[in-house]
Amino acid sequence: MTAAAVTARAPAKINLSLRVGPLRPDGYHTLATVFHAVHLDDQVTVTPVDGDAVTVAVSDEHGDPVPGVPVDESNLAVRAALRLREAAGLSGAGVHLAVRKVIPVAGGMAGGSADAAASLVACAELWDTGSSREHLASLAAMLGADVPFALRGGCAVGTGRGEHLEPLSMRAALHWVLAWSDTGLSTPSVFGALDRLRAGRPVPPPQIDQRLVTALERGLVGAVGMLVDNDLEEAALDLRPELATTLAAGRQAGARVGLVSGSGPTLVFLVDAQRASRVARAVAREPGVAGVRHVTGPAPGAALVA
């Protein structure tokens, strides 16, 4: 082992475009998405312990417990540590994971995937596994569709279930106001609602609008605002109709566009930097909004914290 404790961080993501194909026989949907990492990070600090147990504790940025996050082997950060330990052929390598949550829980921003990516990076350093980034990415893909992107960061087109990534270069930083809810949304329930709403409709294979890719690569922020979309928004609003009022408030306050992030219920508003405060104040007044934050992207992927 190389250190008594190691900390890594990983970013939240926004889906600038999320196209959802028809339900597959295996119960999943084929996706085409544009991932965008933003400067809103969870941190995972790993500390060696005697024996072979992998334990986890989760707190918010103030040190208070975070409800709704599992603290057993179903926790994605724990699963990441176990997967890496198995791949490295280690025995007796017990570890405690202290997760500091900033990314909203069940908010559509892949906070659990960020924790898993940070856990992989931190444990690889702690255990001195010598794992290449490519090896960590292969382990990430086994853990969940969003984990490879949390490891990579930046901006990328994702296909399959989101795990196949094609990096994009961005010419301009994007400013966002995030508004998260006091209660989360279950991703399976949102996909289920989408299937129900689509019943009887033809669903084409998912495809990203190449105009959005071009706008991102050329730094055309105005065009980006006109081209972002999310097939899951209809389902999220069906389950949580009050979100539509908050979306309208942000747009009226000067946001270029507002949309549901992933499966929701976190809402994201693309703003000009000088209008961020006004938009944040407007959406913070809406019922059910638990917090707001101004962030920028793209952000780098999972990395050690010095």
Tell me the CATH number at 225.
3.30.70.890
Q: Is residue 183 over pLDDT 90?
A: no
142/84 same-domain check: yes
For 204-253, what is each residue's pLDDT tens digit?
999 999 999 999 999 999 999 999 999 999 999 999 999 999 999 999 99
Task: Report residue 106's pLDDT band, with 50, 70 and 90 as the boundaries.
Answer: confident
What is the mean predicted confidence (pLDDT) over 118-147?
A: 96
20/64 same-domain check: yes
Minimal CA–CA distance to 162: which of 175, 151, 178, 172? 151
Residue 275 lies inside a defined structural domain of this protein:
yes
What is the mean predicted confidence (pLDDT) over 126-131?
A: 95
In the residue annotation, 13 being an active-site residue is answered as yes
In the residue annotation, 101 being an active-site residue is answered as no
163/184 same-domain check: no
Phi, psi dihedrals of residue 160, rounded to the nearest 5°: 75, -120
Choosing from 13, 41, 42, 115, the catalytic residue is 13
Domain-ending residue, one of 168, 192, 221: 168
Residue 59 lies inside a defined structural domain of this protein:
yes
Structural domain including 254 reads: 174-297
50/110 same-domain check: yes
Q: Is residue 122 over pLDDT 60?
A: yes
DSSP string, the chain: ---S-EEEEEEEEEEEEEEEEEEPTTS-EEEEEEEEEEEEEEEEEEEE-SSS-EEEEEEETTS-B-TT---STTSHHHHHHHHHHHHHT--S--EEEEEEE-SPTTSSS-HHHHHHHHHHHHHHHHTT----HHHHHHHHHHH-TTHHHHHHBSEEEEEETTTEEEE---SS-EEEEEEEESS---HHHHHHHHHHHHTTS--PPP---HHHHHHHHHT-HHHHHHH-EETTHHHHHHH-TTHHHHHHHHHHTT-SEEEE-TTSS-EEEEE-GGGHHHHHHHHHTSTTEEEEEEEEE--B-SEE--
29/146 same-domain check: yes
Residue 88 lies inside a defined structural domain of this protein:
yes
Q: Is residue 1 over pLDDT 80?
A: no
What is the mean predicted confidence (pLDDT) over 273-297?
A: 96
Exposure letters 60-70 (e unless 16+ CB within 10 A, then b): eeeeeebeebe
How many Å apart are CA 34 and CA 16, to the nearest integer? 5
Residue 116 lies inside a defined structural domain of this protein:
yes
- Give me the sign of the Cα torsion angle 9, 15, 19, 25: positive
45/183 same-domain check: no
30/134 same-domain check: yes
27/46 same-domain check: yes
Mean pLDDT of the chain: 94
pLDDT at site 67: 87
pLDDT at site 2: 47
238/286 same-domain check: yes
Q: Is residue 14 over pLDDT 80?
A: yes
pLDDT at site 133: 94
- Give me the sign of the Cα torsion angle 244, 189, 301, 99: positive
pTM over 0.85: yes
Residue 302 lies inside a defined structural domain of this protein:
no
67/130 same-domain check: yes
Domain-ending residue, one of 140, 168, 196: 168
Residue 303 lies inside a defined structural domain of this protein:
no
Residue 304 lies inside a defined structural domain of this protein:
no
Q: Is residue 9 over pLDDT 50?
A: yes
Neighbour tally for 90: CB within 10 Å:
14
142/157 same-domain check: yes
pLDDT at site 167: 95
Neighbour tally for 102: CB within 10 Å:
15
139/186 same-domain check: no
The CATH code of the domain that includes 69 is: 3.30.230.10
For 67-93, what is each residue's pLDDT tens digit?
889 999 999 999 999 999 999 999 889
- Percent of the chain surpassing pLDDT 90: 87
Choosing from 41, 115, 146, 231, the catalytic residue is 146
Domains contained in the chain, number: 2
Displacement of CA 128 from its chain's centroid (Å): 27
Residue 305 lies inside a defined structural domain of this protein:
no
Domain-ending residue, one of 119, 150, 168: 168
What is the mean predicted confidence (pLDDT) over 115-125?
A: 98
pLDDT at site 171: 84
